Each structure stands twice: as C-alpha cells, then as structure tokens.
Structure 1
C-alpha cells in the first residue's frame, strides 16, 4: 500500500484568486488548487475588496484575510477541508 506524503515544499502559495464560486491558489510549482467558495462562509460573505486583501502567511503555505479573520492553508484545499459551519448551496436552499 502506498500512502501519499505531502512534502511541505509542495505547499508554497504564489497567488490567490477568489471568484463568485471558487477560491483558487496558484502554487509556486505551477499547480492550481481550487475549492468551492461555500467551503469558507466568512470569505463568501466578504466584499470584493475584502476578498482581494489577502496575504501569504510567513511560511508560504497558507493565506490570510486579516480583516475577516479567515486563514486557509494549501493543505486544507488539497485534502478538502471545508470550514466548520460550511453548508452546501443545495442544502442551504432547503
């Protein structure tokens, strides 16, 4: 059996894009990692200006939006880590 081991050097974020539906991390090695925006309710509720005010955190493997107190690691996007309280759109419509 093989187990995926993520090397921390593979987690370096180069840039971030937040669209109406997604959050996308452009990684230093050329990959793009995308997750649905509903996974992160605070980011989803933020204004376009707040969403654009991201910074790469000191170790380079996570991004923060200080004004809305949201911090997302590259590893969370890779393994599918939705924030607590995240509700899928179909479920939220019920």
Structure 2
C-alpha cells in the first residue's frame, strides 16, 4: 500500500500581479491564482505598489510594505477572500 505525502506547509517563491489577478508560484511547482477583487488593498494599489512585495518567513506569507497588506499561502490555498 502506498501513501500520498501532501505538503501541508507550502511555500511561495515568486509573486506576479496583473491588472486583475494575483499569481503566486510555490516552491513545489504549483501556481495559485486569485482575482485581485478578492483583495481590495491590492486591487486599489498601483502596479508599482503591487510589485513591491517581500516573502514572510521562508515563504509562508507575502507582505506588501507600501500598502501594509499581508497574505498567507495557506489562506490562498483555502480560497480565502478578504473583506474590504
């Protein structure tokens, strides 16, 4: 009998923001995408502010210092939408 190992603590390695979408690349090769409308602070930010991000911890989260916004990778995987 084989078992399937699931990484319960996935880590981000790169972030991309388009005009209407947030795309997070994980170290295991997966990509998470979500509409920017789910994240009002990001949706209302300039492209320059969206592109100024830093990883928190080893990639468990993402921080945008210009707009003081933080998102967790686990929250993104759950499909958690932020309220404005």
Give the TM bin, normalised by the shorter chain.
0.7 to 0.9
In the other structure, the counterpart of 1:7 is 8
- Which stretches in structure 2 are left out of the alignment for 5+ residues? 1-5
Map 1:50-89 → 2, pairs under 5 A: 50-85=49-84
In the other structure, the counterpart of 1:32 is 31
Higher helix share: 1
Higher strand share: 2
Q: What do you get for the CA RMSD once the two structures are aligned? A: 1.3
In the other structure, the counterpart of 2:3 is none
Normalised by the length of structure 2, the TM-score is 0.87
Q: How many pairs are equivalent?
A: 79
CA distance in 2, matches of 1:54, 1:12: 15
Which 4+ residue blocks in structure 1 deviate beyond 4 angstroms?
none
- Which stretches in structure 1 are left out of the alignment for 5+ residues? 86-94
CA distance in 2, matches of 1:6, 1:27: 11
CA distance in 2, matches of 1:27, 1:6: 11
Normalised by the length of structure 1, the TM-score is 0.78
CA distance in 2, matches of 1:40, 1:29: 24
